[in-house]
Chains A and B, each alone.
Chain A
Amino acid sequence: QKEVEQNSGPLSVPEGAIASLNCTYSDRGSQSFFWYRQYSGKSPELIMSIYSNGDKEDGRFTAQLNKASQYVSLLIRDSQPSDSATYLCAVSDFNKFYFGSGTKLNVKP
């Protein structure tokens, strides 16, 4: 079973701060990497995907990928209370998706 590891949290940050979420994965052959947001009682919602080393920015979100270190991160700038959710890291290898257990983020007003 391919492993995707995340710190379960909770990670607490004040409103307006940068939230940094981290993920490591075990399979070097992994091709695609995703961050999903899951609000309590809801299903996961895709917020970012990244496929090559480096940074990818989308609004307040930046995904970072380092394949040599098998490490993916998500930065949320100017965190808002509405960002409070569980963030799931997912790793894909040829149409198979593996999920971490998620990091719970609390953004305090």
Chain B
Amino acid sequence: EAGVAQSPRYKIIEKRQSVAFWCNPISGHATLYWYQQILGQGPKLLIQFQNNGVVDDSQLPKDRFSAERLKGVDSTLKIQPAKLEDSAVYLCASSSTGVGNTIYFGEGSWLTVV
């Protein structure tokens, strides 16, 4: 079974530029998550989708971050304009639905803002 796919793996941009990350979840997983992990910290949920709909985006900085999940499969996370403090790993994860389900992560997209 293929895992969660993410691209690009690494990105360096200047502040105020924009960047987009792509994610393809495990086949059949209805729930897709974007987490931000800053060095030395645990993953922080940015946005959670259930199929096409947003379940939770309470911690998404909506003035600069946006995300969409078209057709309930792939997802894109965009940052515009980027700030220095956005330097982090952006982890996409997916899970099936129901009690006892497990979340699986992709390899992450490493962003450095200079």
Which residues of A are interface residues toward B (Cβ below 8 A)?
4, 8, 31-32, 34, 42-46, 49, 51, 88, 90, 92, 94-102
Contacts and interface: CB of A to CB of B under 8 A. Distances in A.
B61 interface: no
Contacts of B31: 95
23 contacts: A32-B100, A34-B103, A42-B108, A43-B105, A43-B107, A44-B43, A46-B102, A46-B103, A49-B102, A88-B42, A88-B43, A95-B97, A95-B98, A95-B101, A96-B48, A97-B45, A97-B93, A97-B103, A98-B45, A99-B42, A101-B41, A101-B42, A102-B42
B104 interface: yes
By size class, the interface of chain B is: 20 to 34
A32 B40 CA distance: 24
Contact of B91 (A4, A43, A95): A43
Contacts of B98: 95
Contacts of B2: none
Most buried by A among B55, B97, B102: B102
A4 B35 CA distance: 16
Interface in B1-58: 31, 33, 35, 40-45, 48, 50, 55-56
A52 B35 CA distance: 27
B99 A94 contact: yes
A70 B27 CA distance: 34
Nearest to B98: A95
Contacts of A102: 41-42
Contacts of A45: 105
Contacts of A99: 35, 42-44
A97 B99 CA distance: 12
Given A32-B99, A100-B42, 9 more contacts: A42-B107, A43-B89, A92-B101, A94-B99, A95-B97, A95-B101, A96-B48, A99-B35, A102-B42
